[in-house]
A and B are shown apart, each in its own frame.
Chain A
């Protein structure tokens, strides 16, 4: 056991090896890509929030006429699509990128350039989809885009084209990232880190990647059918040709329900990191937490038709999907109880991150319970297409996913930037968000039960909905103020925040053993993992007394890495935070111990490259060319597709034939 509290070699904040626009465009560093994901997702969060605010302002009182019905359709479609595909998924991806390699003790992801490609596809795809606003042609068919409503006879304009092509592009990004992360987690764990020692966030990320690779192909095919119907006149969704009006709904929800768990499981993972750190206890029932996560994902593929109870599938199908849906409440409930037991008897510290995490546990229960309510078909028939459903899924997605992700932002911002977010601003951010979320979404339960339908752009007075809508609107305003405070906190703390040090919170997992921000190679020596909380094993062994250990790790400990033996324990792991978890460096000037560069350490780093960006760029242009078909420029469209496909393929060949990193021996 290392006893010497050697001064940590952390970089003082703001010290970066390279900066400037070009270094960001060509980066293949998972940490920088993670940051890009985070800032891009937060930008879209502002846009998606603005869309919600406009809708709420319209619905503030009866007979509101801020926007027209058509614009309202575009607003709710783009609000949903933006928040799901451009905010919550990429914000989760930001954490996948940043955290997975750090948590498993790796120096990067398995395919660094593919990782950059995923980000650029996401960025260009999101810009493409939102460029529709400039033409006044934003998607208007709902985030679920039900066919046949979205086929040519009923939606003849470009709105739906932007939507389906945009989703297709974003699917490429998610799939490429998922293959990458699966490989990373399967193959790049540090010695001693077997599957049942992986941090909970990495576990939930792992499960999420499987949901992604299995669910996204289904929506891809549903969208291909829609594209073929719209562009080439096929009959997949043409009722007069004998098509099944439920085909789209089935395909969409076979994707759509796993998608719900794609949105929530990463937040569950983050909460499972935050709660143990601020309770100073290992997570309660780790194996059960893992299994319940897997079970949620598995069952998640067998419940899709509960979105379709109202279409009349018959009593047998309704019963089966009702039962499977209720079953999911079991593993989810297990998670809730395990989080509570993690806090039980712990040495609790109510930081902002902790408050966000606890609010997920508390508020997700509300959304979960209303979910069980409409798992029952007779109840669902009353609730479906009303604001009750809107209340339900905002409780799981905003009060659930987003609260967890904010908790993750507060928890990991110091690791990303080297500086802590302000707790003072953070408390304002948290309480405004917490009050705003409940004031917005709780009254929607009532407006829904009083019969207010979803997606109406205005309503008459005297139906008992007025007060609830007014409350929701003011709640949304409070949320917006909270978000502005949060953004201000992120902006100002990156220069003015307190220096974080390696381990500001007293965490137990590997990411806290290295400097903040981490050097580009992450770990100068690949760590050896002795239990689920390797850092606590070194710094606070009493915390991990009940956690399974192997004294000597596994047989792969004696390997040579980068010309060095993997050390038994690492001095730098013992540095940083003493007992109690208080950041000792908070009021001190940073110890300016310059970090060694990768070159000095003999660690091969991948070359920066612009090629993934160009491949992504031309791929998006290739999809975008298809829009011209509906402008009666089919030949130009085909030319565009071919030209951009050739450009894309040549950059792809350039990428695949150039070496990833310098030759090494």
Chain B
């Protein structure tokens, strides 16, 4: 903690925390309202679509021109959710590796921040791959962003989340590049710390989305 006070030229911060740590929390607070708006809209529009496909129930003539299956594939999304949650674990290990570099017990695989950053990024990318698969299969089944209210609100909500994961993956890869170039030291822990806060936040949002969109009928 209190890494900001390293230089004597700047007064110590009022809280003892680095500026970036305060800013990322403010940013996350703001992001909460962003996702709250998206999720609320999805919930408000739930069951209001006039044409299929629908998330949880099949649609048959005469309501729909042809038979349309319920579109959400909960088993597949459960796997991708698991993958994303595991990425948070890898993120924790990456931060611990940077913070404890050189300490006993962190010599081996546990101390390899490069490995854990890479694993986090790969798991995040895997999640995105699942999402790409999900989106394309939905389109094949007749659900696009223009089809109905469900399509519009579903693709926008999950797409926004996917965009956040993408930004997180780019952030992680940037950290990985720095780590490879000069090695992240305990004094750089804050760089990993704030990216980890962001990454965990994006995960938590997904838990809300998975519960409200996929699990609850």
Contacts and interface: CB of A to CB of B under 8 A. Distances in A.
Contacts of A251: 37, 41
A221 B41 contact: yes
A247 B9 contact: no
B48 A242 contact: yes
B7 to A, nearest CB: 6
A234 B10 contact: no
A191 B17 CA distance: 15
Interface in A201-229: 213-218, 220-222, 224-225, 228
Interface string A556-570: 100111110010000
A365 interface: no
Contacts of A220: 34, 37
B217 to A, nearest CB: 19
Contact of B37 (A178, A222, A559): A222
A378 interface: no
A610 interface: no
Given A189-B14, A242-B50, A217 B34 contact: yes
Given A183-B19, A217-B33, A241-B49, A234 B41 contact: no
Given A187-B14, A216-B30, A244-B48, A179 B23 contact: yes
A111 interface: yes
Given A187-B14, A242-B50, A221 B37 contact: yes
B156 A178 contact: no
Interface residues on A, range: 35 or more
Contacts of B22: 110, 182-183, 186-187
A228 B145 contact: yes
Contact of A604 (B9, B41, B145): B9
A111 B156 contact: no
Interface string B1-41: 00000011111111101010011001101110110011001
B36 to A, nearest CB: 8
Contact of A233 (B11, B23, B29, B146): B146
B57 to A, nearest CB: 16
Contacts of A232: 145-146
A243 interface: yes
Nearest to B15: A187
A375 interface: no
Contact of B26 (A178, A191, A216, A603): A178
A556 B48 CA distance: 59
B149 A241 contact: yes
A248 to B, nearest CB: 10
Contacts of A190: 11
A180 interface: yes
Given A234-B146, A235-B149, A664-B7, A110 B23 contact: yes
Contacts of B19: 110-111, 183, 187-188
Contact of B31 (A111, A217, A247, A556): A217
Nearest to B49: A242
B41 A247 contact: yes
The 8 closest A-B pairs by CB, nearest first: A217-B34, A221-B37, A234-B152, A213-B30, A217-B33, A110-B19, A187-B13, A242-B48
6 contacts: A182-B23, A193-B14, A215-B33, A241-B51, A559-B11, A559-B12
